[in-house]
Amino acid sequence: MSLHESGEMYLETILILSKKLDHVRSIDVVEHMGFSKPSVSRGMKLLREQKMIEMDGAGYITLTDAGREIAEKIYERHTFLSEFIAKLGVDPQIAAEDACKMEHVISDETFAALKRHIAEAHLQA
């Protein structure tokens, strides 16, 4: 299933928040992302319809297995790319912003090749 960039960002945010909070609610997503309540509400509705998240009666959000898989993939890309770009000498804030854009468009093949190349370069150093 293909998600838009915003769906991937919501899933990644839910994953990040779930590492910090006991329970994740839509308002937590609103505050973390700086999006409007109606935008987040629409996003959560679409993710529920796509079976990426579940929401209980108290409004607590959990990732389904499919949602968690995508969230972890995007989070790994973000973390890896942010660190790599920062190691090139780019300001960490700019590196994180650039990584946020790149993580949604880089192919699986290119990302795997980049990770391999850096791992090999690290072994040779």
Q: What is the pLDDT of residues 66-117, one digit of tens each?
A: 999 999 999 999 999 999 999 999 999 999 999 999 998 999 999 999 999 9
Instruction: Write down the pLDDT at residue 120.
Output: 87
pLDDT for res 122: 74
Amino acid at 23: H
Three-state DSSP class for residue 61: strand
pLDDT at residue 124 tops 80:
no
- pLDDT at res. 1: 44
pLDDT in tens, 33-47: 999 999 999 999 999
What's the rounded mean pLDDT across residues 5-15? 94
Distance CA 25, CA 58 (A): 9
pTM for this predicted structure: 0.87
- The reported pLDDT for the residue numbered 79 is 95
List of domains in the chain: 5-67 (1.10.10.10), 70-124 (1.10.60.10)
